[in-house]
Chains A and B, each alone.
Chain A
Amino acid sequence: MAEVRQSKGDFWIGCGLLAFCGFAVWRTLSIKQGFSSSIAGPSFVPWLMIGLISILSAILIFQGISAGKEGGKDSVIHFPDKQTLLTIAAFVVLLVLYAAAFFPIGYIPATLVTFVIGLWLIGERKIWLLIGFPVVMTFAVHFAFTNFLSIWLP
Chain B
Amino acid sequence: MMDTLSYLAPLLQFKVILVIALGTLGGLVIGALPGLTATMGVALLIPLTFGMTPVMGINMLIGIYIGGIYGGCVSAILLRTPGTPASAATVLDGYPMAQRGEAGKALGMATISSAIGGLFAAVVLATLAPQLANIALKFGASEYFALALFGLTIIATLSGNLLKGAISGLLGILIACVGADPISGVMRYTFGIQGFSSGFAFTPALIGLFALSEVFTQIERLAGNEPAIKLVKDRWPSRQDMRESRGALIRGSLIGTLIGIIPGTGSGTASWISYNEARRTSKTPEKFGTGFAPGIAATESANNAVCASALIPLLALGIPGDVVTAVLMGGLMIQGLAPGPMLFQTNPEVIVGIFGGTFMATIFMFIFGMALIPVFSKILMVPRRLLTMAIVIFCFIGAFAINLNPIDLYTMVGFGVLGWGMQKFGFSQAALCIALILGPMMEANLRRGMLQAGDDVFVFLSGPITLLFLALTILSLCWPSIARHLARKTKA
Q: A residues engaging B (CB < 8 A)? A: 6, 9-10, 13, 17, 24, 27-28, 31-36, 38-46, 49-50, 52-53, 56-57, 59-60, 63, 77, 79-81, 84, 87-88, 91-92, 95-96, 98-99, 102-103, 107, 111, 114-115, 118-119, 122-124, 129, 133-134, 137-138, 141, 145, 149-153
Distance in angstroms from A14 CB to nearest chain B CB is: 9
Q: Scan B388-418; emit 1 where CB is below 8 A from any A CB, else 0.
A: 1110111011001100101001101100110
Distance in angstroms from A146 CB to nearest chain B CB is: 11
Whether B184 and A35, one on each chain, are in contact in the complex, defined by CB atoms closer than 8 angstroms, is: yes
Whether A79 and B173, one on each chain, are in contact in the complex, defined by CB atoms closer than 8 angstroms, is: no
Q: Does B371 contact A (CB under 8 A)?
A: no
Whether B167 and A17, one on each chain, are in contact in the complex, defined by CB atoms closer than 8 angstroms, is: yes
- Given A80-B220, A102-B396, A141-B393, A9 and B385 contact (CB-CB distance below 8 Å): no
Interface SS of chain A: helix
* Nearest neighbor of A46 in chain B, beta-carbon distance: B177
Provide 27 A-B residue pairs closer than 8 Å at the C-beta atoms, listed in order of the A residue.
A9-B425, A31-B187, A32-B186, A34-B184, A39-B450, A39-B455, A42-B188, A44-B447, A45-B177, A45-B447, A49-B173, A52-B166, A53-B174, A60-B167, A95-B416, A96-B413, A99-B413, A102-B409, A122-B222, A122-B385, A122-B389, A123-B385, A133-B386, A138-B393, A141-B397, A150-B50, A150-B51
Give the contacts of B222-270 with A (CB-CB under 8 A).
222-223
Whether B216 and A88, one on each chain, are in contact in the complex, defined by CB atoms closer than 8 angstroms, is: yes
Whether A124 and B450, one on each chain, are in contact in the complex, defined by CB atoms closer than 8 angstroms, is: no
Distance in angstroms from A50 CB to nearest chain B CB is: 7
- Given A46-B188, A60-B167, A102-B406, A88 and B413 contact (CB-CB distance below 8 Å): no
Whether A98 and B396, one on each chain, are in contact in the complex, defined by CB atoms closer than 8 angstroms, is: yes
* Nearest neighbor of A144 in chain B, beta-carbon distance: B48
Which of chain A's residues have a CB closer than 8 A to the CB of B76?
none
Which of chain A's residues have a CB closer than 8 A to the CB of B189?
27, 31, 46
Q: B residues engaging A (CB < 8 A)? A: 47-48, 50-51, 163-164, 166-167, 170-171, 173-174, 177, 181, 183-189, 212, 216, 219-220, 222-223, 383, 385-386, 388-390, 392-394, 396-397, 400-401, 404, 406, 409-410, 412-413, 416-417, 424-426, 443, 446-447, 450-451, 454-455
Which 10 pairs across A and B sit closest by C-beta, in order of nearness?
A: A34-B184, A99-B409, A42-B181, A40-B450, A40-B447, A49-B174, A42-B186, A103-B406, A45-B443, A151-B401
Interface SS of chain B: helix
Whether B413 and A53, one on each chain, are in contact in the complex, defined by CB atoms closer than 8 angstroms, is: no
A50 to B383, CA, bound (A): 45
- Given A123-B222, A151-B50, A111 and B450 contact (CB-CB distance below 8 Å): no
Which of chain B's residues have a CB closer than 8 A to the CB of A45?
173, 177, 443, 446-447
A6 to B386, CA, bound (A): 34
